[in-house]
Amino acid sequence: MIFLFDLFKLVDEDGAIDPAAMMSNIFVQRMLNRMRAQQDFSDLQLQRKRSYWKQCAFNAVSCFGK
């Protein structure tokens, strides 16, 4: 997803696309997507841990045995 203001940076005065700017833009987008994915994954792990400890608080036998 390239924003409109990014397009102005990518296109030179003669209308040619600057390859270095394009590669930089793609790199930044991939890094942001990777960071978002990691954030979602860590949130999911925390949610699992919370639900596990809620279950243990409710029924200690199911977590710690008889």
Map out the domains of the chain as residue ranges: 18-64
pTM of the model: 0.45
Q: Tell me the mean pLDDT in the region 5-17.
A: 65
Higher per-residue confidence, 47 vs 62: 47
- To 10 degrees, the CA torsion angle through 10, 16, 22, 24? -70
Higher per-residue confidence, 8 vs 25: 25
**17-34 burial: b if 16+ Cβ within 10 Å, else e:** eeeeeeeebeeeeeeeee
Per-residue pLDDT tens for 21-53? 788 888 888 988 888 877 777 777 777 777 777
What pLDDT does 9 receive? 63
Answer whether 4's CB lies under 8 Å from 10's CB.
Answer: no
Question: How sure is the predictor about 4, in pLDDT bands with cuts at 50, 70 and 90?
Answer: very low
